[in-house]
Amino acid sequence: MAKTKPAPVESETAIRVRALEAILIEKGLIDPKAIDALVDTYETKVGPRNGAKVVARAWFDPAYKQRLLADATSAIKELGFSGMQGEDMVVVENTDSVHNVIVCTLCSCYPWPTLGLPPVWYKSAPYRARTVSDPRGVLKEFGTILPEDVEVRVWDTTAELRYLVLPKRPAGSEALGEEALAALVTRDSMIGVTVL
Amino acid sequence: MNGIHDLGGMHGFGPINPEPDEPVFHAEWEKRVFGLFATTSAFAGFSVDEFRHAIENLPPAEYLETSYYEHWLHSFEEMLAIRGIVTKAELDARVDQIRQGGQ
């Protein structure tokens, strides 16, 4: 006899969302296909691979890096990444003496066009609370231990201005081309919680 | 304005526990809520600031106990109720209908 799988129980929240969407559709106020398209965009098209391309270009092309640090919004737009939640961008560069990390203490502000949607931990109370008071302790939780003489700078993102960390180019990557360089760049290194 | 959302420097929240290989969304309803922002703000005429203000006005315990996209849902309900587009009663009735097997 075939076993019948019990139907998954829909959470109260899931039911409420379904109810709200159904009402809005019936009133002719929204098109569910527009929601599908937005979800697809942020699941498959916009994400940290975009930011990795920006970082790789900056490592590869010194003139681009200069433009990126001087006017990040325009330089990022050159690569075709712009729009919602990335209207005003600042790129902060990690060096031998400075390490940067980004947070949004008030909410969840994050550079969508270059990093996609933020992970849950970025939006969580412990990360938002502690990054500004104990950044080294936070970095340690991500396995990042920096020498004492490296200055840690914490950038508190706002609704208007979004930051992106330009990580240090890994040693031994001198011979790599732009595409291979981009493959080395992780999301967390562009938030600044890890190094490469 | 001060409020529970102003979390910078607060103590006692424990470890961060990042999730390895985290998906963009954790449930189907999160996807729908995400897509509701651009679609709903367009016709209802609210800004990100007004939307976030509703989240910041959540009772502190509820703010901390509910997830990011639950915050969004709360704000949509507020934005739509204030404008008389979808009343709380209307939404509650539809929720009951779905619970009883309807659509």
DSSP secondary structure string, B41-72? HHHHT--HHHHHHHHHTS-HHHHHHS-HHHHH
Task: Summarize pLDDT for B24-36 with one digit per residue, the tens.
Answer: 999 999 999 999 9
Q: Average pLDDT, stretch B61-70?
A: 95
Contact B6 A43 (CB under 8 A): no
A23–B94 CB contact, under 8 Å:
yes
Query: What pLDDT, on a 0 to 100 scale, did the predictor assign at position B2?
Result: 76
* Among the listed residues A158, A161, A150, A152, the one whose alpha carbon sits nearest the alpha carbon of residue A91: A161
Of B27, B35, B80, the CB nearest to A14: B27
Q: Which of B39, B40, B50, B64 to mutate to test the interface with A (most CBs of A within 10 A)?
A: B39
pLDDT one-digit tens code per residue, B3-52: 889 999 999 999 999 999 999 999 999 999 999 999 999 899 999 999 99
Cβ within 8 Å, pair B64-A35? no
C-beta atoms of B16 and A11 within 8 A: no
The single residue of A74, A107, A133, A173 carrying the catalytic annotation is A107
Q: Which helix (H) or strand (E) holds A123?
A: helix A120-123
Burial of A89 from C-beta contacts in 10 A (0-12 / 13-18 / 19+): buried
- Measured between beta carbons, the chain A residues lying within 8 angstroms of B101 are none
A189 is catalytic: no
Please provide the distance, in angstroms rounded to a whole number, between the alpha carbons at the two ends of chain A.
54
Which residues fall within 8 angstroms of residue A119, CB to CB, at 6 or more apart? A187, B18, B19, B22
What's the CATH number of domain A47-191, 3.30.2010.30, 3.90.330.10, 3.40.640.10, 3.40.720.10? 3.90.330.10
How far is it, in rounded angstroms, from Cα A142 to Cα A195?
10
Which residue type, as a one-letter code, is found at position A127?
A: Y
User: Could you count the other beta carbons within 10 Å of the beta carbon of residue A124?
Assistant: 21
CA-based radius of gyration for chain A:
20
Low-confidence ranges of chain A (pLDDT < 70): 1-8
What single-letter amino acid sits at B25?
F
Give the gap in angstroms from C-alpha B9 to the nearest C-alpha of chain A: 5
Alpha-carbon distance of A116 to A40, in angstroms, equals 12
Chain A, residues 16-35, CB within 8 A of chain B, namely: 16-24, 27, 29-31, 34-35
- Chain segment A120-145, per-residue pLDDT in tens: 999 999 999 999 999 999 999 999 99
Q: Domain ranges for chain A, please list them.
A: 12-44, 47-191
pLDDT for res A1: 47
Domains of chain B and CATH, by start: 28-99 (1.10.472.20)
pLDDT at B16: 96
The minimal CB distance from A34 to the residues B10, B39, B94 is found for: B39
Residue A79 in tokens? 């690569």
Mean of all residue pLDDT scores within chain B: 94
Q: How far away is chain A from the Cα of B59, in angstroms, using its nearest Cα?
A: 15
Decide if B95 and A15 are in contact by the 8 Å CB cutoff.
yes
